Amino acid sequence: MERNEQTMKMIEPAAHIKAIQEYYFSVKLAEVARMNADGLDVVSLAVGAPDRMPSQETIDTLCESARRPDVHAYQPYTGIPELRKAYGDWYKRFYGVELQPAEVLPLIGSKEGILHISMTFLNFGDAVLVPNPGYPTYRSVSQLLRAEVREYDLLEAKGWEPDFEALEQMDLSRVKLMWVNYPNMPTGANATRELFEKLVAFGRKHSIVICHDNPYSFILNDRPLSILSVPGARETCIELNSLSKSHNMSGWRMGMLASNAQFVQWVLKAKSNIDSGQFKPMQLATVAALSNSDEWHAEMNRIYRERRGWAGMIMQLLGCSYDPSQVGLFVWGKLPDEVVSSEALVDDLLLHARVFLTPGFIFGSNGERFIRISLGASVEKLQEAYRRIKEYIGRQDLEIGM
């Protein structure tokens, strides 16, 4: 036993594992689960996971196809032809972008696509442009591959868009990838065609692959945009997309990437050595989901619009300011000056009001003075969170008055 313990002390994880932290929600949701197990009944408004069902056609297709005897074997690494065609039709219908089957690669969720793309293009020591604030996985995957992370600022004063003058002043000699994400998470800032044109021009000028992560364009957004709609974009851009948020299918892990056929083939080389395809009934059900009616999407946005009203009331209750033109699945609010930090406020609310929000610091230093509320919870839960926070604030005011 002693020898085993000594051996274990001599074994260490790789340096790139030491360099990253366990994902914030992995740690924090375990804490929330313990509180719930103790009967504290936490209202979670933190994680961007839709609580609604996929469309009835999606569910019916899954159930019916799963009963077939010919659908349970391994599937093509490129996805079934029907799915690639459906993704192409989806892009034509909503984004006005023509995609050939060879320009589409189905993925087990777009988060995995971040790893596949990074493995495909990054050599040891290459550099990656990562937004601050931004999705933490852009940074952690780059670190796992021993790439150098170079942050670029997204600032409220500039509408949460990259400062291209500042980018041009950076040393870009070893930069291979640039991660961008619009509609933006966490800020809710929307893209414009002008922004996408600037990004395409920047990528082409410096031979940088612009990786656009695009899972939020159907939520509270009346103008879905794809960076691939810009002429010349396919030469230097890859777009990730997902049904997790827009079609209530987060647990299904159905995503895709689109680019030129050469980029897709290179990514496929990495992907085919990692996974073994997706369950065929889920692919067939995704084909059905991609044909959801405009009325289905409109109803989802009606629900989210009502929820956003309550999320805004919670922000106001906390003294936070926010931009009502935000789109996507979250409301991003700026803390009042008297609040010490986003982490301190979130921990305080979790402990005393039993409401879990997302602190902005997890998205980078430029997110420190912000918090995020997810719209993936019912109006009833948002109302309960409002009631609990208001009651807690009232207790605090009473104690100060005493």
* Domain C-terminal end among 232, 265, 289: 289
**Calpha distance 388→397 (Å, rounded):** 14
pLDDT of residue 353: 96
* Domain C-terminal end among 263, 289, 315: 289
% of residues, the chain, pLDDT over 70: 96
How sure is the predictor about 142, in pLDDT bands with cuts at 50, 70 and 90? very high
User: Where is average pLDDT lowest: 19-23, 93-97, 314-318?
Assistant: 19-23
The tens digit of pLDDT for each residue in 279-333 reads 999 999 999 999 999 999 999 999 999 999 999 999 999 999 999 999 999 999 9
Are 248 and 319 within one domain? Answer: no
Are 238 and 305 within one domain? Answer: no
Domain extent at residue 190: 56-289
Q: Which residues contact 52 (CB under 8 A, 6 or more apart)?
A: 248, 300, 303
Whether the per-residue pLDDT at 338 is higher than 60: the answer is yes
Choose among 22, 306, 11, 15: nearest CA to 140. Answer: 22
Task: Summarize the confidence of residues 136-161 as an average pLDDT.
Answer: 95
pLDDT of residue 402: 31
Choose among 291, 284, 285, 329: nearest CA to 311. Answer: 329
User: Helices then strands (H, E): number in the chain?
Assistant: 14, 13
How sure is the predictor about 401, in pLDDT bands with cuts at 50, 70 and 90? very low
Are 193 and 321 within one domain? Answer: no
Mean pLDDT of the chain: 93
The alpha helices in 108-163, defined as continuous H runs, are 110-121, 136-144
pLDDT of residue 2: 57
Are 16 and 91 within one domain? Answer: no
pLDDT of residue 72: 96
Are 268 and 376 within one domain? Answer: no
The tens digit of pLDDT for each residue in 359-383 reads 999 999 999 999 999 999 999 999 9
Q: Domain holding 267: CATH number?
A: 3.40.640.10
Task: Summarize the confidence of residues 121-126 as an average pLDDT.
Answer: 94
Total of domains in the chain: 2
Are 157 and 282 within one domain? Answer: yes
Q: Domain holding 353: CATH number?
A: 3.90.1150.10
User: Where is average pLDDT lowest: 304-313, 338-347, 388-397?
Assistant: 388-397
pTM of the complete model: 0.92
The tens digit of pLDDT for each residue in 220-270 reads 998 999 999 999 999 999 999 999 999 999 999 999 999 999 999 999 999
Are 100 and 159 within one domain? Answer: yes
pLDDT of residue 49: 87
The tens digit of pLDDT for each residue in 53-86 reads 999 999 999 999 999 999 999 999 999 999 999 9
* Domain C-terminal end among 289, 320, 344: 289
Are 252 and 155 within one domain? Answer: yes
Are 97 and 73 within one domain? Answer: yes
Are 330 and 256 within one domain? Answer: no
Whether the per-residue pLDDT at 271 is higher than 60: the answer is yes
Are 181 and 222 within one domain? Answer: yes
Are 46 and 184 within one domain? Answer: no
**Calpha distance 261→325 (Å, rounded):** 36
- State the helix-helix crossing angle for 342-352 and 379-401, rounded to 10 degrees: 100
Whether the per-residue pLDDT at 174 is higher than 80: the answer is yes
